[in-house]
Amino acid sequence: MAAATFANACTELGDRRDLEANFLELLVASERVGDLVDVIKHATKLGRRKQAVRDLARATQSDETFAVEARIAGAVDALTILIKLNPGDEELMDNACKVITACSGTLACSGKVHELHFGTAAVRLREGSLADGVGTRMWAMSRSLSSMLAERPDLVRGLDVLEMGSGTGLCGIVAAKLGAAKVVLTDCEEAVLLNLRECAAANTEPRQAPGQSAQAAAFPLQASAEDLEFDPEDADICNDLDDFLEQATSARCNPALGPDGHAEHLEWDLGHMQVRFMDWRSDLERLHSQSRASQATSTLLIEPERLKSIPGIQEDATFDVVLGSDILYEDFHAAMVAAVLKLRLRPRGVGLLAVAIRDEVFYTDLLKHIKAHHMLADAQDIEVGQAAEGILGRSHDYHGFVALTVEHAA
């Protein structure tokens, strides 16, 4: 029954999967932004540097994602040096100030904040930049799975829930909002975990100051671009320029944030939600002493000293429900995901997965591993609507979208 309901709910969501539509184009564009900043920093000819500033000004004004990438690439510091070396060039000054203003704005400093609604669950999430990795962005399958949960809140109400590969934590946070007894949000990359912790905190009861918006209380956002005032026509007034640059620097240096741009005061246990480090390879190694996980070429992004400050999931923790969305990226993921389901699901527990099939072999292997571990799987195709034809900009990269229900038989 749970499997059929899961599939039916996801099938109705085809027209909602436009979130990833231009992600590949944005990823390519972010690399282009990095190239432009390199030209601004290192080109020997002023003409090339000015052209790069013009292109960067257009990019950062067209989409805040480019402003995020430009800020991370060091555009503000590079442009500060450039305009001080060329104070009489009004065109350069105008374009540089446009970039600096965009880079110093709220969205550029803090990532894009989304307010989403899934049934009765209202969720606030902040995406990281592309430089933080794809795990800090929301993906269409997570929205599909969240919508399914909103259709059937009884699937998680009063139960202990694990979300594997949480990313922004959308599915797990929705489960918590729908009445799950406990939700453990997990990932394995430092930048993703730090952002995940902030997303979880944003969906607990924030300490809201008088006159402060809920969003401002939830996320430690920096000053907005509107707070920066500089008229390029007054560029000959050195104090005016210095004041502008000082404001831009202050806007990206909120004392509430640590040096990595994330809030330092947040806890890893937030109400009935917990954020934990989890490496799927550990579960696979526990399940098989001779594991092919050792052959995996992926590496963790957490430095050992940072890992010590991030709590890991308990080795013997089990759950009534395991959630996962878009979690098959490499061939070795199939064995890992199946191992997590086998070890983490309690008897009669249920795994609810929304899978984008990038490689049919990966998906077939997942089903084989699930069967080998004596679990039951029910798979139903998700009918993707016209809005999703451009997923990642190249729909032919996918071989389908599947709603998969896995039951721990004993």
Hey, what amino acid is at 217? A
Structural domain contains residue 375? yes
pLDDT band at 308 (very low <50, low <70, confident <90, very high): low
- Residue 150 sits in a domain of what CATH number? 3.40.50.150
Give the pLDDT score at 87.
Answer: 79
Hey, what amino acid is at 99? V
Token pair belonging to 116: 């989403």
Structural domain contains residue 214? no
Structural domain contains residue 334? yes
pLDDT band at 93 (very low <50, low <70, confident <90, very high): confident
Residue 279 has pLDDT above 60, yes or no: yes
Burial of 359 (0-12, 13-18, 19+ CB in 10 A): middle
Task: For residues 100 and 37, state if they share a domain.
Answer: yes
Which residue range forms the structural domain that includes residue 68? 23-104+223-251
Structural domain contains residue 362? yes
Task: For residues 233 and 324, state if they share a domain.
Answer: no
Nearest-CA neighbor of 97 among 276, 297, 269, 243? 243
pLDDT band at 231 (very low <50, low <70, confident <90, very high): very low
Residue 223 has pLDDT above 50, yes or no: no
Structural domain contains residue 216? no
Task: For residues 157 and 289, state if they share a domain.
Answer: yes
Task: For residues 34 and 128, state if they share a domain.
Answer: no
pLDDT band at 18 (very low <50, low <70, confident <90, very high): very low
Total count of domains within the chain: 2
Question: Residues 29-39: what's their mean pLDDT?
Answer: 85
Spatial contact of 236 and 87, defined as CB atoms under 8 Å apart = yes
pLDDT band at 259 (very low <50, low <70, confident <90, very high): very low
β-pairing verdict for 345-356 and 273-277 = unpaired
Task: For residues 180 and 240, state if they share a domain.
Answer: no
Q: What is the largest CA-CA distance in the chain?
A: 77
Task: For residues 376 and 310, state if they share a domain.
Answer: yes
Task: For residues 7 and 151, state if they share a domain.
Answer: yes
Hey, what amino acid is at 282? S
Hey, what amino acid is at 275? V
Q: How many CA atoms lie within 13 A of 298 on its CB side?
A: 16
Spatial contact of 69 and 137, defined as CB atoms under 8 Å apart = no
Task: For residues 53 and 118, state if they share a domain.
Answer: no
Which has more pLDDT, 130 or 150? 150
Task: For residues 34 and 13, state if they share a domain.
Answer: no
SS (H, E, C) the chain: CHHHHHHHHHHCCHHHCCCCCCHHHHHHHHHHHHHHHHHHHHCCCHHHHHHHHHHHHHHHHHCHHHHHHHHHCCHHHHHHHHHHHCCCCHHHHHHHHHHHHHHCCHHHHHCCEEEEEECCEEEEEECCCHHHCHHHCCCHHHHHHHHHHHHCHHHCCCCEEEECCCCCCHHHHHHHHCCCCEEEEEECCHHHHHHHHHHHHHCCCCCCCCCCCHHHHHCCCCCCHHHCCCCHHHCCCHHHHHHHHHHHHHHCCCCCECCCCCECCCCCEECCEEEEECCHHHHHHHHCCCCHHHHCCCCCCCCHHHHCCCCECCCCCCEEEEEEECCCCCCCHHHHHHHHHHHHEEEEEEEEEEEECCCHHHHHHHHHHHHHCCEEEEEEECCCCHHHCCHHHCHHHCCCEEEEEEEECC
Structural domain contains residue 215? no
Task: Name the β-bridge partners of 403.
Answer: 354, 380
Average pLDDT, rounded, for the chain: 77
Residue 390 has pLDDT above 80, yes or no: no
pLDDT band at 309 (very low <50, low <70, confident <90, very high): confident
Structural domain contains residue 284? yes
Give the pLDDT score at 282.
Answer: 92
Read off the pLDDT of residues 180-202 as tens digits, 9 standing for 90 and up: 999 999 999 898 999 999 999 99
Question: Residues 252-261: what's their mean pLDDT?
Answer: 44
Task: For residues 187 and 299, state if they share a domain.
Answer: yes
Give the pLDDT score at 169.
Answer: 96
Task: Name the β-bridge partners of 356.
Answer: 401
β-pairing verdict for 319-325 and 269-270 = unpaired
Nearest-CA neighbor of 55 among 74, 68, 37? 37
Hey, what amino acid is at 109? C
Which has more pLDDT, 344 or 245? 344
CA–CA gap between residue 338 and residue 336 (Å, rounded)? 5
Give the pLDDT score at 211.
Answer: 52
Give the pLDDT score at 256.
Answer: 42
pLDDT band at 371 (very low <50, low <70, confident <90, very high): very high
Which has more pLDDT, 92 or 384? 92
Task: For residues 82 and 189, state if they share a domain.
Answer: no
| pTM assigned to the model | 0.69
Check the CA dihedral 165-171-174-180 and report its sign.
negative
Give the pLDDT score at 122.
Answer: 95
Highest-confidence segment of 16-30, 113-127, 293-307 = 113-127
Nearest-CA neighbor of 391 among 136, 129, 17, 63? 17
Highest-confidence segment of 126-130, 247-251, 267-271, 290-294 = 267-271
Question: Residues 247-261: what's their mean pLDDT?
Answer: 46
Residue 341 has pLDDT above 90, yes or no: yes
CA distances from 221 to 32, 68, 206, 251, 397 (A): 27, 14, 14, 9, 36
pLDDT band at 246 (very low <50, low <70, confident <90, very high): low
Spatial contact of 394 and 24, defined as CB atoms under 8 Å apart = yes
Question: Residues 376-399: what's their mean pLDDT?
Answer: 61
Task: For residues 125 and 7, state if they share a domain.
Answer: yes
Structural domain contains residue 53? yes
pLDDT band at 60 (very low <50, low <70, confident <90, very high): confident
pLDDT band at 32 (very low <50, low <70, confident <90, very high): confident
